[in-house]
Amino acid sequence: MFDRFRNRLEIKGTLTTVTALRVSAGRSSEPIGSDLPVIKDALRRPLIPGASLKGALRSRLESFLRGIDPTFATDPTELVEQIDQIQSLKKDENKKDSILTQEILRETDLVSRLFGAPWLAGKLQIRDLTVEPDAWFGQYQERNGVAIERDTETAANGKLYDFQVVPADTPFQFHAVIENAESWELGLLLVGLEQLKTQQLALGGGRSRGLGVVELVLEKMSWIDVRQGEKLEDIDREKLLEYVKQLANHQAAREDILHNAEIQAAWSKALISKLNNELGNHDA
C-alpha cells in the first residue's frame, strides 16, 4: 500500500476543550502534587497524545460500522490466526507479494484498513496535540474524587483522592495526515471528523461526569492526488514527477479543499457505495 506515492491529505485545525479534560498520566509517585496528574510535554504544558484521539475516533467509527454489519469492524485479535495462515501460504505456494496483500486485505475489516492492525500499517496519522502557546496561562484545575460506601452512602475511609484537569476553552493544535487512501476511506474519515466538529466525541477519563468534550474547527485541508483515476495503482507519472520537482524547489502545490463540497461529497458517496457493495457481497 505504501510502495508508491498516490495521494496525501493533510488536515490542520484547532481542537478546543468544551469541558475540562482529563488525559491521565497515571498515579503520581511524587510526595507533593496531584494523585492523578494529566499528561504534559517537556515544558509542563498539557498534551493530548495522538494515539488517544485516534483510538477514540476509531472506536466511534467501529460502533457505526458494526451496527451496519459486525464484520465491518472486527476485533483485530480475532483475525490474527487467520492472517498468520495466509502469510504462511506464501512460502508453501510461492505466491507473489501483490497476491498475498490482496488476500490479507480481503480478511481485514474496513476500519482496520484505515486505522491499521497488527499486520497492516494504518493510513491515518494523528500527531500529538500540543496546546496553543499563546493561549496557555500555566494553570491546571484540581478536583477531588471519593469512593462512596454503598451501605452508608458516605465517603469510604481512605478513598479520597484528587486529580488534575485541563480547563475548558483550552485550544490544542490538530494535525492529521492520511496517505494512499481510497475514496471511501476518505469518506469514512470525514464521518469521524464530523463527530469532532459537532462535539459528539469525548476524550480521556471522567466522561460520565461530563469531562472531555471537545470541538474541532478545521482550518486547512491540503490535498494532492497523482492518480489517473480512482484506482490506487493507476499513477500519473508526469503529475508525480512535477510534484517531486515542486518539492525539490520548496514550492509543492497542494489544493486546499476545506470548502470544496464537490470533492468531499464524492468521498462520502464512495463510502456509501462501498458499504452497500460489501453488504451485497455478504447477502449473496
Domain count across the chain:
1
> What's the pLDDT score for residue 95?
55
| 271 in a structural domain | yes
| 37 in a structural domain | yes
Give the three cell numbers for residue 167: 480547563
| 178 in a structural domain | yes
- Please give the Cα distance from 18 to 204 (Å, whole number): 13
- Please give the Cα distance from 182 to 273 (Å, whole number): 12
| 96 in a structural domain | no
Long-range CB contact pairs, 197-201, < 8 A, 24+? 199/18, 200/60, 201/56, 201/57, 201/60
> What's the pLDDT score for residue 80?
61
Beta-carbon-side half-sphere exposure of residue 84 (alpha carbons within 13 Å): 7
> What's the pLDDT score for residue 107?
76
| 91 in a structural domain | no
How many Cβ atoms are within 10 Å of 216's Cβ, its own excluded? 22
> What's the pLDDT score for residue 234?
83
What residues make up the domain containing 121? 7-74+109-283
What is residue 138's DSSP assignment?
S
The closest of 172, 165, 236 to 207, measured between CA atoms, is 165
The secondary structure of 112-161 as a DSSP string is HHHH-BTTB--SEEE--EEB-GGG--S--EEEEEEEE-TTT-SEEEEEEE
> What's the pLDDT score for residue 46?
92
- Please give the Cα distance from 46 to 44 (Å, whole number): 7
| 115 in a structural domain | yes
Cell 507533593 found at: 32
| 192 in a structural domain | yes
> What's the pLDDT score for residue 31?
46
- Could you list the pLDDT tens digit for every one of the 284 residues in the chain? 677 899 999 999 999 999 999 987 655 445 444 557 888 888 889 999 999 999 999 999 999 999 999 989 887 666 666 666 656 655 555 556 666 667 777 778 899 999 998 888 899 999 999 999 999 988 888 877 666 666 665 555 656 667 889 999 999 999 999 999 999 999 999 999 999 999 999 999 888 889 999 999 999 999 999 998 766 678 999 999 999 999 999 887 889 999 999 999 999 999 999 999 999 877 65
| 90 in a structural domain | no
Sheet holding 171-179, edge to edge: 124-126, 171-179, 7-17, 214-225, 255-256
- Please give the Cα distance from 46 to 1 (Å, whole number): 35
> What's the pLDDT score for residue 260?
96
